[in-house]
Structure 1
Amino acid sequence: MSPIVEAFEKNVPIPSGKVVLAARGLSVGHGGSVAYVQKLDLEVGQGEIVALLGANGAGKTTTLMGLAGLLTAQEGTVELDGETVATPLHSRARHGLSFVTQERCVFMSLTVRDNLRVGGCDASALDYFPELKPHYSRTVGLLSGGQQQMLAVARAIARHPKVLLADELSLGLAPMLVDRILEALVEACRNENLGVLLVEQQVTKVIGIADRGVVLRRGRLELTDTAASLRGRMDEVRRLYL
């Protein structure tokens, strides 16, 4: 068992900070189509990790895109740090939102150093991933997929956002690399009071490091509970995937 999961098994208290991101009756769809995610109510607190779970097609990525401003809300509102926002992603980024997509969000033709510079960061961004420091001057396209994902997460954290949206950080990565990235994410969350909304298909793994879990099914909220409670209800969670 990893040190991060062990900490949560010892009943570490759930953070009680203010709400930094919220969906209030949010309905979102693609290209003007009928809303697929419907009337979603969801909150992420300061210093809290919320796992957004569900089968393929449940609406998880659509939810993240709506919260990030990549899709326009058809109904309801998004609140960022207590204020209602209806702006695009670049504006929400300036007000404390970071989004790591499935595509890893790095420039393959640039070095690690230049990727950090483009993101407005310096070498201190690698403090959560010191294993990247020997590759500081290396072209990112020559790094492994795990190293590229570490860089994407490091750069997102280094902007000191209020909330981080992360979509399938484990995609295509070996289990040990996934554990390493999640460990750093938990550390950053606690050190920097960062709110995290994490989409992940590896349910047992993500419930092991989250504070709360939210399960979507066909675009609707089906279940929400503390992660500690959900770890004892995994049969129910898995049924919602069918």
Structure 2
Amino acid sequence: MSQPIPAGTLTGRTALVTGSSRGIGADTARYLAQAGANVVINFRNKAPRAEKLANELRELGVEVLTVGADLTDPESVAAMMQAVKEQFGALDLLVLNASGGMESGMAGDYAMVLNRDAQVSVLEHALPIMPDGSRVVFVTSHQAHFIRTTPTMPEYEPVALSKRAGEDALRERIGDLTERGVGFVVVSGDMIEGTITATLLERANPGAIADRRESAGKLYNVSEFAAEVATAAVEPIPSDNTRLIGDTGSFGGE
């Protein structure tokens, strides 16, 4: 993997990436650790996978904490933040990467509970241990970010609407975050090759990924997009608090 952030840039700082035992979250955690950050790997299940990643990152010379937490359960989230406080004292970077809503067998409101309510809950539980100069990064997709003006595939619409609702709920807190000295940035990407969501969409709508790739000219893969998410942790925050990654030509205004 390339190294988007110079080694040592984040030495002494602590980053928590939600949903980071695999995929974009795992690669984001790798990039942050390469830059010197201590990392908190959050997962919902599959503890062995999280521990395998943790051992890999410890070889870089950073501290790593793995915490199993269901983000839709406030008590679970509170326990996670308490564990972070006990081990590191503070949290300098919160990457809100975990999302979902296309899983089978979930309640009808699951997408909104996870992609809106849980995102706000995690932020609220994290803020007491986030010092002046820390940052929050919210990861989303163009299909969600632009859902108010550009329709998406029916299979993805509940997820898109709930992720946009989560983004809006977090944006409402920018004033409070600014007063606390906490930066906030949204990183929005087009469909990402190799993600669980892309796999589920392809299963529900065969050819969807190829069609989008042809329309956009290029789709980022997991590690490429994760590099952009990690970079958002250190680069100046745009005036509109938004980093748009990949083609946006087929999407209308916000």
- Fold equivalence (TM over 0.5): no
Larger % of strand: which?
A: 1
The structure, 1 or 2, with the larger RCO (C-alpha pairs under 8 Å, 6+ apart) is: 1
**TM-score where L is the length of structure 1:** 0.32
